[in-house]
Structure 1
Amino acid sequence: MAIPKAIKILLGCNEQQTAFEWIALQLSSRLETTSSTTSDNAESRVLPSRHTKGLLRPIFVILRFWRTLQNHWHSRFPGWRSGLAGFTILATMLLIINTSTLIWAAVNLVDRDATIAVGHCDKIQKLSVYSYFVINILSTGLLAGSNYCMQCLSSPTREEVDTAHAQFSYLNIGVISWRNLISCRKRRIFTMATLMLSSLTLHLVYNASIYFTDAMHMHDIALVTSGFFENGRWTQHGIIPNTDGQIYESRLRRLQDLASNGQIWDQTQWSNLTVFECKEYSSRLSDRGSVLLVTDHQHVNASEETTVLDFTVQEPTNYQYLNRYISDHGPILYCLSLIVPSSCRLQIRVGLLIVVVVINTAKVICFLVTFREQNGTPLITVGDAIASFLKFPCTKSLGLCLKSEKEVVGLLNESENWEHNTIRKLPVQFRPKNLRYHDASSFYPWAAYISFCMIVIVVSISLYRDIMIKYAENNIATNFRALWNYGFGRSRDESSTYVTTPWCTLTLGMNGHDVECVSLDMEIFNVLVASLPQLVVSMVYIGVNHQLTVMIQLRDWTSLASRRQPLRVSEPEEGSSQVATYWLSLPYRFSIPLLASSVMLSWLVSQALFPYRASWFDDYSEEVKRGPSLTSNTSAWGISFSAMACICAIGLGTLVFIFPLAVSLRQCAPGLPAGPTNSFVIAAACHPPPNDRHAARGLVKWGVVASNHDAADGRLVQHCTITSRKVEEPIKGCWYS
């Protein structure tokens, strides 16, 4: 197509070249728009067909309605404020829920704790499993919100970046950075530290705030004749000890009242057991109480005037007492077991719930402070930084277009820069490097991540081995089917332990074999030890999130050399090709699976190792405050574990650990030097031609443009930059600045 002569006269040479480039770019952009829209971009678009009919039409109606709500939301909270506002609302709602729960627990407080539910142990344990799952969802949501807020809080403004560059330094873009805060935002260090500390401890304290109380019944055991059920007379001489004789007598009379007048035939009140079943009877049955051993009085050397031949009150810590008792008292006809209401409980530890409310409140305050403190337009994403430097290039970085982050940092650290107030810049031969995703981080972050995760996996496997040893000692089947049937988060005698501190004085319990800590109350210690793995899970989440973030940034950064694409920014300019980002630096297809895996891993850990409380109850489902012996402890805290949950946690944790390593092996597009989180590296790649003032608004690409800089030997040195103009690929061996 010919251009009219009048237009040619009006246009100079440069203007003609610019016009032709503009026309060519408009044609190429129409062809490349579809290909430049990656799967990540598709996450922000909903394009239903006008002719969609049938079952799909309501779906698209819902999607359009959701898109309308999104538009209103983003108009009210543009850019990064949108995500932060959402997390602030979430944190506020959770604060209301937690505060309401705390008030309810305080009103229903009994002996420092509040009871959520009482019932059969299987039912309460299932409720406990579901409660832990909900708690870990809420905790992970707050953890993700804190991560989002910390990145917003540490993101620098353009003025702060220019100040750092003027001082021969740099700031980090697109990642959580303590360097940024220390360099230019010292007053925000406290807010950042509060968010970090609360994020690490939230899972730990939240999971420890509820616990399962196992019911262990204290049994009255009476050796009686059939006349006992007909209100037969008995004497306490010889069968009731002198110590606490009145207490024993009242317990025996109450037991006779429950068994007389034909009540033993009520199957809802009494259970008839054979002698064999009676020998296997355990106090761990949460719905069984006292036991009557019925004997033929003709075979017992006792007075005919008494219907009670022996009586004792048995503590529930001795599980095989009936077997020995029956062997010592001759032939038994049958046994009667009193059926009592199950007394297992799901309870709230009010003191720890107060800590949860404090942490939640701190997070809400930090979110609001970030709203107020983060003024101006921060450079939250790499796209924000590119757009800013394309609009207002940084003169300090001119001539360093092929320098990687390592090389740039070396130049900035040279002492002569300060003396001459300049940076030594020389043309560089282009040598394309086959970058992989792992080049986004240096050796030390990868070493710390791998070492920490390996230690966690080794310790977890060691814990599983200890569980298997304890199972073997108690003759518990360890095949997969048996472990699966045991379930998650279920407290068992054989899968429990009692952890003590080094400063605890250990003595034998009243039964002669249980070890007890008598120097201090071990309740909080056991609760926190059981919940300690939650701290590890939070640290793993933060580490995986950071490694994935920098790798995805490197992917998006290097892709600018392979295809023309719009910039992904936090606040797109109206009428531009810029794409709005609904995340910060991690796409949904990475962030959502990461959040889901974090929830599942936290929940599995809470079921693999969890605190429990064992309390004594009487036949009336009332908690016993004192045992038959004045020195007996009627309540004990411990740590219980589940082998199957441990297996699943180790498996999922290993996958979470391996996933970033697998991603790190992927190759990046060649061309751009590594260092997309370094503000100086980004600035060096953003020196477009003077006639490309609005480059950030269109589709951009990195490549070679003409330059007026000459090398010392007289050869032409070209320049590489991100621009919306036509570019060519750099040639290996050629010089660029």
Structure 2
Amino acid sequence: GQTLLFKGNCKTASRINLWAHLGINVVGTGVLASSNFFMQALVAPTRFEIDKAHASGKWLEIGVPSIGNIRRISCWSVFLWFLFSFSSVPLHLIFNGCILESKASNGFTLIMASESFLDGAQYKIPWVSSALVRSNNDDAQLNTTISDIYRSVSDDSNQAWERIPFDKCFRRYNNLNQLLTEYRHLIVVVSNGTLTTGWTRRRVMSNITLTDMFLGWDGPDDRDVINSLWWAKQYYRSGTKFSNDNGYLYTTFVTDEITSEKGGLDMNTLDPVSGEISMRDIYYRPAYQTMKVQYCLSERFQAPCRLTISNPLLLVVCIMCIFKTLLCILGLDSWATAAQGRFQPVDNSRGCYRLVHRETRSRDQGNVYAQSIGPDRNQDARSICVDQLLSKDSTVASVRQAQNLRWSTKTHLDIISFADYLLPNCSRRHVCASNKGGSRFGHDPSNKALNMNGLEDISFVGKTMLANTPQLILSICYMAYNGLFTRMLAEVEWSKYSINYRSLRVTSPQGQQRSTYRLQLPYRWSIPLVLVSVLLHWTYSNCIYVTNYEIYNPEYPYDMKSSSETLQYSALAVLVALVLSIAVALSPLFLVCMRLPGKLPIGASNSAVISAACHCVPQPPISAAPNKIGVSVQAMEDEDANLQALASQPLRWGDISTVFEGESGIGHLAFGTKDQCVEEPVEGKLYS
């Protein structure tokens, strides 16, 4: 079933449809961003999962949407993650199809008559040029229609009729590729050059023709009856050149051969330039073998275009939204459970104070930093030369290579998926129907129709899903794109810790800590990304779309004759979408060209790198007593409290040898506070 939203002017309906789909894509992008946030949070590892991975020599990604974490997080989180993923598919495939624009096209009756017809002169069916001597049952409806037109044009108060020259009339009514949305019936005033109130068959037709027509006829003889009606016929306009299975012809009123209907005495040809009508000389007298169009009267009439809501599709969308809401509640409940005890999630790469709490009790528990990113496995795992760490580290190069590969994959996925789906369908002649009309942005009737094999047999839901497949591909690309920017901007913020003192950015801030971004990224990045996503989704929704054509009957009472759903595409929208997609795909090049500040090694989302950087040295309390060899000793509880206090202060990464370095001369790189006088690493110095 469908619910009517609007019925009226077709241009107004198109504008409402355009902005309605923009609203749909705004809501859809919001749902996508929300799902992306929850999916990223679900793959965020807990303390327990990070400890377990580190114990087995593995590392996890923190603060980014990492699919690689799925193998090492809880089954419940994986289950929720997949539910979030698959519940988005129906939304992307059918959301844009919930609102359907039905484009109406008026059928029209073409009347050729004398000028006296407009002033109320008598007329009758059959008309003067007809081969019939009496009206048959098929003409009853036509007679009613002509009577309605006759009353309308004879009414002086009726302002619906517009007088136009023949050339304008011809362009308006004779274009098969254009729907007739603003006009309906047409009266063509014809004459043979003499003033007349009408014609009689005896004056128009040859004697032989009349003899043949009335041979054996014992009814009323109308050979001398004045008739102001020369010819009439009815036409349909569907916007395409075809005749359907029901036999309703969608043709022009220009013919190259004599029409076989009604005995074969209709007009032969109509010159589209001069407006001359050439009749067959064997049927007509010389004075009437050539008739000329004087002018036309066109009836202004707005076809009733409609906007409707597909109730079944809207029901599916509502069910999916309710389902996603329940998933969000389950996700929040899962986080609340994880926050109790050892399952507290580490859902932000800058929240390393949670790692500090358990992994930095002693700097002698093992050098995770050197083991994780050291240039040589055979090198002393307890020390590493800083020039190798900062410039020649093969693992750091691997990280750069992996990030470049991730960007390259995203770029090619964005461009190739769009081009592979849309462009071939819009370039092959056997797929796209021929259309002389120019392409326009939006759901315009002048856009071409897809003429794929078997398309007519696909249901409305199937066509909707087919048309919105690019939306699903775009959503996947958006998630990859968002993850790419999250990683790159995380590296930028991570690197700034080696320049100055900055407080940690965490989910649950304490002390001077900062809260994580609400949209996962800084607003100056997240808001433009969301707006670009809305723009792309909206543009894609205008590339390929389902539209409904309603063809109205040219006969009184002008009800709907036929209705058909089809897939159309806008070449202009495809071009705009392609340009935007390429521009968006190439935009990370500007970030790639940016040099990361400071000297902190790359690895903002790597749990092992974060753990190593968080092997800081807490300042002992004043009450701590030195042991026999001069090293201060403090209780484990005091050390934990000091570490938590340290994590709540502004930190900087660098050389903290002043509080650590002993007789060995090996320094230590970690986070430190202002009281620890953190300095930049020294080129050539060994660090643990």
TM-score by length of 1: 0.69
**Aligned CA distance change for structure 1 residues 131 and 241 (closer, same or farther; 3 Å):** farther
Amino acid in structure 1 at the alignment position of 2:681 = P
Distance 1:606 1:176, change over 3 A: same
Establish whether residue 113 from structure 1 lines up as the match of residue 13 from structure 2: no
**1:702 counterpart residue number:** 653
Deviates more, 1:387-396 or 1:694-703: 387-396
State the 1:159 CA deviation. Answer: 2.5
1:421-469 deviation line (CA, Å, top 9, x unaligned): xx99442222253679983944542332122133246559947984999
Contact 1:223–1:308, Cα closer than 8 Å, also in 2: yes
Superposed CA deviations along residues 516-561 of structure 1, whole A, max 9, x for unmatched, are x4xx245444433333322232122112110110111111222212
**444, 449, 459: which one pairs with 1:491?**
444
The answer as to whether partners of 2:426 and 2:571 remain within 8 angstroms in 1 is no
**Contact persistence 2:370–2:381 (CA under 8 A):** no
CA contact (8 A) 2:105 2:550 kept: yes
Which secondary structure state, in structure 2, belongs to the residue aligned with residue 491 of structure 1? coil
Size of the aligned set, in residue pairs, is 577
Q: Is the 8 A contact 1:436 1:666 kept in 2?
A: no
Q: What amino acid maps onto 1:682 in structure 2?
A: I
CA distance in 1: counterparts of 2:584 and 2:125, whole angstroms? 68
Which residue, 651, 665, 669 being the options, matches 1:716?
665
d(CA) in 1 for partners of 2:555, 2:159: 15
Indicate conservation of the 8 Å contact 1:572/1:578, yes or no: yes
1:665-719 deviations in Å (ceiling 9; x for gaps): 21223433222212122112211224353210111111223499999xx943222
Q: Secondary structure at the match of 2:517?
A: coil
* Offset, 1:590: 0.8
Alignment of 1:31-42 (within 5 A): none
- Name the amino acid aligned to 2:672: T
Structure 2 Cα separation of the partners of residues 690 and 245 of structure 1: 106
- 1:723 positional shift: 2.1
Q: Name structure 1 gaps, 5 residues minimum.
A: 1-111, 415-422, 478-482, 505-516, 627-632
2:390 alignment counterpart = 433
The alpha-carbon distance between structure 1 residues 436 and 577, as it changes in their structure 2 partners (threshold 3 A), is farther
Amino acid at match of 2:495: T
Distance 2:555 2:328 in 1: 50
Kept in 2: contact 1:608–1:642 (CA 8 A): yes
Aligned residue type for 1:322: F
Paired residue secondary structure (2:587): helix
Q: 1:566 to 1:253 in 2, by over 3 A?
A: same
User: Are 2:368 and 2:608, in contact at CA under 8 Å, matched by a contact in 1?
Assistant: no
**Partner residue, 1:604:** 539
In the alignment, is the contact (CA less than 8 A) between 1:204 and 1:528 conserved in 2?
Answer: yes
Q: If you compute each CA radius of gyration, which structure gives the higher value, 1 or 2?
A: 2
Which of 182, 185, 190 lines up with 1:287 in the alignment?
182
Q: How does 1:86-485 map to 2 (within 5 A)?
A: 112-225=1-114, 226=116, 229-230=120-121, 232-235=123-126, 246=137, 248-260=139-151, 263=154, 265-282=156-173, 284-296=179-191, 297-298=198-199, 300-301=204-205, 303-305=223-225, 306-317=227-238, 321-324=252-255, 327=270, 330-374=291-335, 375=337, 376=339, 377-384=344-351, 386-393=352-359, 398-402=366-370, 425-431=381-387, 432-433=389-390, 439=400, 441-456=402-417, 458=419, 462=423, 466=427
Q: Give the Å deviation of 1:234.
A: 2.6
* Cα displacement (A) at 1:369: 0.9
Residue 548 of structure 1 pairs with residue 548 of structure 2: no
In structure 1, C-alpha distance between the alignment counterparts of 2:506 and 2:187, rounded to whole Å: 78
Are residues 1:641 and 2:570 paired? Answer: yes
In 2, Cα distance between equivalents of 1:530 and 1:623: 32
Percent of matched pairs sharing the same residue: 22
In 1: Cα distance, 2:35 partner to 2:405 partner: 25
Sort the Cα spacing of 1:672 and 1:634 in 2 relative to 1 into closer, same or farther, 3 A: closer
Name 2:550's counterpart in structure 1: 615
Task: Assess, with a 3 A threshold, how the Cα gap between structure 1 residues 667 and 311 changes in structure 2: closer, same or farther.
Answer: same
Residue in 1 that maps onto 2:607: 679
Aligned-partner Cα distance in 2 for 1:366–1:113: 29
SS of structure 2 residue aligned to 1:639: strand
1:528 aligns with 2:465: yes
Deviation at 1:489, TM superposition (A): 0.9
Matches within 5 A, 1:557-576: 557-573=494-510, 576=511
Question: CA 1:581 to 1:621, structure 2 compared with 1: closer, same or farther past 3 Å?
Answer: farther
Distance in 1, matches of 2:234 and 2:187, equals 12
Q: Which runs of 5+ in 2 are unaligned?
A: 192-197, 211-222, 242-249, 256-266, 271-276, 280-290, 620-641
Task: Measure, in 2, the Cα distance between the counterparts of 1:445 and 1:596.
Answer: 23
Task: Tell me how far apart the structure 1 counterparts of residues 522 and 320 of structure 2 sit (CA, whole Å).
Answer: 28
Alpha-carbon separation, structure 2, partners of 1:543 and 1:460: 19
Question: Structure 1 residues 285 and 218 mapped into 2: Cα distance closer, same or farther (>3 Å)?
Answer: closer
Do the aligned residues in 2 keep the contact of 1:208 with 1:611 (CA within 8 Å)? yes
Give yes or no for contact 1:289–1:338 (8 Å, CA) kept in 2.
Answer: yes
Distance in 2 (alpha carbons) for counterparts of 1:167 and 1:241: 97
CA distance in 2, matches of 1:469, 1:659: 36
Q: Which residue of 2 aligns with 1:102?
A: none
Cα distance in 2 between the residues matched to 1:372 and 1:162: 23
Alignment of 1:19-98 (within 5 A): none
Q: Which amino acid aligns with 1:566?
A: S
CA distance in 2, matches of 1:336, 1:370: 68
Other-structure match for 1:729: 680
Q: State the distance in 2 between where 1:261 and 1:622 align.
A: 14
Q: 1:566 to 1:623 in 2, by over 3 A?
A: farther
Instruction: Look up the SS of the partner of 2:597 in the other structure.
Output: coil
Residue in structure 1 matched with residue 617 of structure 2 by the alignment: 689
1:210 is displaced (CA, Å) by 1.7
- Confirm whether residue 659 of structure 1 aligns to residue 587 of structure 2: yes
Residues 148 and 424 of structure 1, relative CA distance in 2, 3 Å threshold: farther
Whole-angstrom CA distance in 2 between matches of 1:403 and 1:125: 63
Residue by residue over 1:622-660, the C-alpha shift from the partner in whole angstroms, topping out at 9 and shown as x without a partner, is 88554xxxxxx64241313151x4443333322221222
TM-score w.r.t. the length of structure 2 is 0.74
Letter in 1 for 2:367: G
Letter in 2 for 1:186: C
Matched-pair contact (CA < 8 Å) for 2:501–2:650: yes
Question: C-alpha distance in 2, partners of 1:446/1:621?
Answer: 63
Q: Distance in 1 between matches of 2:679 and 2:556?
A: 83
Q: Shift of the alpha carbon at 1:132?
A: 1.3
Q: Which amino acid aligns with 2:84?
A: L
Amino acid in the other structure paired with 1:734? K
Secondary structure of the 2:71 match is: helix
SS in 1 for 2:549: strand
Contact kept? 1:437, 1:668, Cα under 8 Å: no
Partner letter of residue 270 of structure 1?
W
Number of the residue aligned with 2:513: 578
